[in-house]
């Protein structure tokens, strides 16, 4: 549609230039005028401002003037219609896209809300996309929305700290909110508003200053991430333990056909008719994956759990394997 309107705009622009060119050349030849006088006469003629003739015109020049007025009326009418149609169509398309987005959001459950689509917000959206997670983006900058909306990303325009905007993003049925706004104060307001609306929401906030960490936690953030601190620690680790860090960096969690590490709910791989241990589950023999971690129902993490560890309901295991082994695990237990 954009290309269609662009071609019509170029056609209208060409016709306007053509009319002005014909007018200037015609008055110069038929009216025996200089180029400046011919340009002035063309402008007052096509714009129909009603000024008098620069110099007296004879029959041929007057017939040419009549012709120029008629042609310019049609060309100007066409140009105005193209511009009007473009403006109205942009507004209409924007409303249609927004209605479709809001309709889609109303059907969502357990989705993620991303507040802010800067560098961190885009990285979060990219990671969620690779894991086939549904998400909604709240962004107040119309230029950013127009730049990325064509990619099919669901945007809600507005200030994320306002309750109405959060509700339009489906915060009541969301499972997680990621606030990645550049200002710590803005992130704090978002966390306060989101926690007030949905007490069960998992909230992850970005922070720039260390002094903001405790404030965001007190406001209700479950996790506070400081990108600058993480980046600095990562660079220092490349000096202290470079081989270990490079190995960890190679453990991909980027999604389809690339995953080396995966977390799995115990309910998805056992039926709990009886308690079983990691040894009895024997994922290593069945899929080639190795269990490297276990998260208890209370949220406690056990690194490298023993073979006699009993699996409890509402717990998770963390497995390590090559991409094909992870895929074999998912196929065996019908995991998404």
Domains (range + CATH), the chain: 2-100 (1.10.287.70), 109-231 (3.40.50.720), 261-332 (3.30.70.1450)
Q: How far apart are the first and last CA of the chain?
A: 37
Q: Say if pTM beats, i.e. exceeds, 0.85.
A: no
CB-CB contact of 74 with 48 (8 Å): no
Q: How many CB atoms lie within 10 A of CB 265?
A: 14
Q: How far apart are CA 89 and CA 80, in angstroms?
A: 14
Identify the three-state secondary structure at position 47: coil
Query: Tens digit of pLDDT per residue, the chain (336 long)?
Result: 555 566 777 788 888 888 888 888 888 888 788 888 888 888 888 877 767 776 777 778 888 888 888 888 888 888 888 777 766 666 656 666 677 777 888 888 899 999 999 999 999 999 898 888 899 999 999 889 888 877 888 899 899 999 999 999 999 999 999 999 999 999 999 999 999 999 999 999 999 998 899 999 999 999 999 988 888 887 888 888 888 777 777 775 555 556 688 888 888 888 766 778 899 888 999 999 999 999 998 889 999 999 999 988 889 999 998 888 988 888 888 886
Who's near 298: CB < 8 A, 6+ residues apart? none
Give the pairing of strands 261-265 and 223-225: unpaired
């Amino acid at each position: 549609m954009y290309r269609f309107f662009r071609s019509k705009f170029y056609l209208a622009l060409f016709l306007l230039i053509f009319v002005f060119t014909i007018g200037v050349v015609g008055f110069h030849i038929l009216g025996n005028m200089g180029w400046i006088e011919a340009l002035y006469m063309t402008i007052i003629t096509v714009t129909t401002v009603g000024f008098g003739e620069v110099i007296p015109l004879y029959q041929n020049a007057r017939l040419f003037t009549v012709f120029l007025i008629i042609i310019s009326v049609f060309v100007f009418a066409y140009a105005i219609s193209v511009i009007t149609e473009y403006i109205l169509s942009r507004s209409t398309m924007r409303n249609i896209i927004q209605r479709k987005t809001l309709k889609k959001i109303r059907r969502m459950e357990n989705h993620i809300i991303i507040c802010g689509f800067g560098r961190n917000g885009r990285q979060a959206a990219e990671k969620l996309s690779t894991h086939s997670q549904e998400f909604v983006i709240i962004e107040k900058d119309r230029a950013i929305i127009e730049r990325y909306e064509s990619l099919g990303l669901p945007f809600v325009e507005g200030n994320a700290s306002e309750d109405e905007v959060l509700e339009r993003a489906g915060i009541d049925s969301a499972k997680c909110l990621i606030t990645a706004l550049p200002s710590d104060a803005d992130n704090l307001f978002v966390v306060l508003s989101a926690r007030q609306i949905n007490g069960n929401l998992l909230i992850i906030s970005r922070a720039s200053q260390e002094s903001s960490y405790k404030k965001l936690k007190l406001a209700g953030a479950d996790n506070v991430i400081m990108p600058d601190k993480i980046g600095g620690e990562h660079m220092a680790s490349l000096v202290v333990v470079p081989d270990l860090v490079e190995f960890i960096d190679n453990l991909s969690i980027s999604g389809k056909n690339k995953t080396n590490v995966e977390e799995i709910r115990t309910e998805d791989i056992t039926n709990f008719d009886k308690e079983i241990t990691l040894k009895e589950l024997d994922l290593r023999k069945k899929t080639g994956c190795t269990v490297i971690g276990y998260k208890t129902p209370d949220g406690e993490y056990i690194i490298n759990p023993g073979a006699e560890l009993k699996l409890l309901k509402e717990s998770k295991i963390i497995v390590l394997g090559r991409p094909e082994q992870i895929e074999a695990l998912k196929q065996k237990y019908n995991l998404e």
